[in-house]
Structure 1
Amino acid sequence: MRTLYFIRHAKSSWDDPTLDDHSRPLNKRGRRDGPVMARRLLGIDVAPDGLLSSTAKRTRQTAAYFKDILSVENTIYLRELYHASPQTIEAQIKKLPDEWETVLIFGHNPGYTDLANRLKNDVYLENVPTCGIVGARSDVDEWKDFTLEGAKRIAYLYPKQTE
């Protein structure tokens, strides 16, 4: 059994128009929502073995909250996850170490909304909001056998649920 939590980066800042998209940091709301959502996972006893993150600044900042609050030791940053398609994300999942059974993956829309709707579930998601979390579980023994279509959506959490 393999479990993934796809976490869209928290709200980013557009204050500095000279920054390229990859370099944009979190804004005040993003810095608030990141720890709140990490504690939500902690509160439902999620114990990740590792995390993958896009290399974008806002995504790395979001991942840092989860890494600290959930005490995640293993971290991989991949440029390939920056604005990645579901197919690219799935390809990276297939490369995960098999010792990792529960993994957090930090990335971006529109890929995350597309990905969420490929998972088995009866509810269509219009949008995974910033710092939204989509949980998925697959009954595979090795990551190389993982497919999005073969996984079931087990969670959908977002910041406004906690307000």
Structure 2
Amino acid sequence: MKTLLLIRHAKSSWNDPDQDDFDRPLNKRGKQNAPEMAGRLMHKGMVPELIISSPAKRARTTAKIMAREWKYPKEAILLEEELYLCYASTFLKVITKIDDDFDVVAIFAHNPGITDFANYLTEEIRIDNVPTAGIFAVEADISSWKDFDRGHKKFLFFDYPKQEMV
């Protein structure tokens, strides 16, 4: 079994309208939501063994904040250029490269790709939007990440900051 945690970056700042999208930082709410959501995952007993992130500042910062909560070394976060504003199909390319030693993996990315990919993964649930700092989790009945697309996937949970903790 393999578990995939799709995590959208936390809320970013739009204070500087001239700032390049790639370099947008988190705003105050984003900096508060990221550790809160990391804590919720820990409460569920889900701590990733591998973190992969878009290199965009808002995704990278969200990953680092959550990694700190999980005692995961920030220098071990893998940055995947392809995840920056990618299509749903790109996630599969990234996933098939994951080392099979890892059973619980978190991928930090952006909309609309992350929402599209979440909806592709299971027919059990459909979502309109993965909100900022939202987490969509599935379990795949596979032993190798190379088989992720073909493996049966089971929806585990969908959580986000404005949702009451369950």
User: TM-score, structure 2 length as denominator?
Assistant: 0.93
AA aligned opposite 1:108: H
Structure 1 residue 148: Cα displacement: 7.5
Q: Does 1:49 align with 2:38?
A: no
The answer to whether the 8 A contact 1:55-1:77 is kept is: yes
Q: Which residue does 2:101 correspond to in 1?
A: 99
Q: How many pairs align?
A: 163
CA distance in 2, matches of 1:104, 1:151: 16
Q: Which residue does 1:19 correspond to in 2?
A: 19
* Bigger Cα displacement from structure 2, 41-50 vs 103-112: 41-50
Q: Which residue does 2:160 correspond to in 1?
A: 158
Deviations 1:59-110 (A, max 9, x none): 0110011111112244200111001111101110000011111001000000
Deviations 1:19-48 (A, max 9, x none): 100000001110111111011001111121
AA aligned opposite 1:65: I
AA aligned opposite 1:39: G
Q: Which residue does 2:119 correspond to in 1?
A: 117
Secondary structure in 2 aligned to 1:129?
coil
Q: Would the alpha carbon gap of residues 25 and 64 (structure 1) be closer, same or farther in structure 2, given more than 3 Å must change?
A: same
User: TM-score, structure 1 length as denominator?
Assistant: 0.94
Q: Extract structure 1 runs of 4+ deviating beyond 3 A.
A: none
Q: Which runs of 5+ in 2 are unaligned?
A: none
AA aligned opposite 2:102: W
AA aligned opposite 1:58: R
The answer to whether the 8 A contact 2:3-2:138 is kept is: yes
The answer to whether the 8 A contact 2:140-2:151 is kept is: no
Q: Which runs of 5+ in 1 are unaligned?
A: none
The answer to whether the 8 A contact 1:119-1:150 is kept is: no
CA distance in 2, matches of 1:148, 1:55: 28
